[in-house]
Amino acid sequence: MRDQPRYEPQPPPARTPATSLFDAEFLRKLELLEILFRRNTVGRREGDRPGQQRGGRSEFADYREYTPGDDLRTIDWNVYARTARLFVKEFTKHETATVCVLFDASASMGFGQPRKIDHARRLAAAFAYLALAGGNEAQLGAFAADEVRWSPRFAGKPDVRPLAEFLDPIQPAGPTHMFGALRAFADRLPERALLIVVSDLLDEGDGHAAPRRALRQLAARGHDLAVIHLLSPQELHPPAIGPVRLADCETGEGESLEVDAAALRLYADRLNAFCEGWRSFCERHDVRYVQASTAESFEQCVLDTLRKGGLVR
């Protein structure tokens, strides 16, 4: 008698990386949104000066009456047969734009509950997904120290799985070096693009002058720019805890101090000045600035905060 086949119980399927970014319900909500471009024109009339984006497709837009000099190939002869009048078809040129998300993966992004890096990775995935859903291209870059880790250039049907494969392994480490990341972006994507920077902006190495100078140069080249300033609730509202020794997670430098009500008032004043400095700089140079807190749910951040900031609709 032939032996019967043995069926071993199988372990449950491994959790896919995609599930660490979005659940199915949030994806359905995400698909109802679109990215708002400021400088990049996604649609142009055929015959206008071509944009710098690559690729694209033409779609019928409207009719208008024929005028001498129009291309005879654009005449709709079916309309002529019905009306005895000449009309030409007009088309809209939908060009492919590039959306690049540069997000901070330095050690300071590991701070907070929840961690800022987790919000940053999900924001990067959300913008890339929306870019692909809109028929555009997307690229992600994680920056820390003197290095930018680049994703492949994504195009085609939106799919969160390859985004997760790039994003999930990234963990916070090293100092912030935003200026170097912006220079790397300029070298890598010379064509006009929408650049979204996600960071806590705690860049002590370069100070504020160098990153802001790089942003001004990118704006002058025609890039559409946005900064998402991501802070944790512990940074926004720290508790009064008495004598402590604080250590910088990126440099290791420390300082002993008394965290009392007076110290918290001084801290709040400096934090407000820091945020307002970035906000006013961005307003002067046509850079969208959105301040976000990891205290709010990620869904609220995308569906509410980014809408109010003019990045999605």
Q: What is the pLDDT of residue 266?
A: 94
User: Domain-by-domain residue ranges, the chain?
Assistant: 43-95, 97-308
Measured from the Cβ of residue 96, the count of other Cβ atoms closer than 10 Å reads: 17
- Which CATH number fits the domain 97-308, given the four candidates 3.30.300.30, 3.40.50.410, 1.10.8.60, 3.40.50.2300? 3.40.50.410
Divide the 313 residues of the chain into consecutive groups of 10 and give the mean pLDDT of each group.
Answer: 39 44 91 86 36 48 82 86 86 78 97 95 97 95 95 95 95 94 94 95 77 95 96 92 82 85 93 96 96 95 94 94
Residue 154 carries which DSSP code?
Answer: B
Q: What is the pLDDT of residue 175?
A: 92
Q: What is the pLDDT of residue 168?
A: 94
Question: What is the rounded CA–CA span in Å between residue 134 and residue 158?
Answer: 9
The candidate with the shortest Cα–Cα distance to 106, out of 50, 46, 166, 180, is 180
Helix (H, G, I), strand (E, B) or coil at 310: coil
Q: Chain-centre distance of CA 84, in angstroms?
A: 52
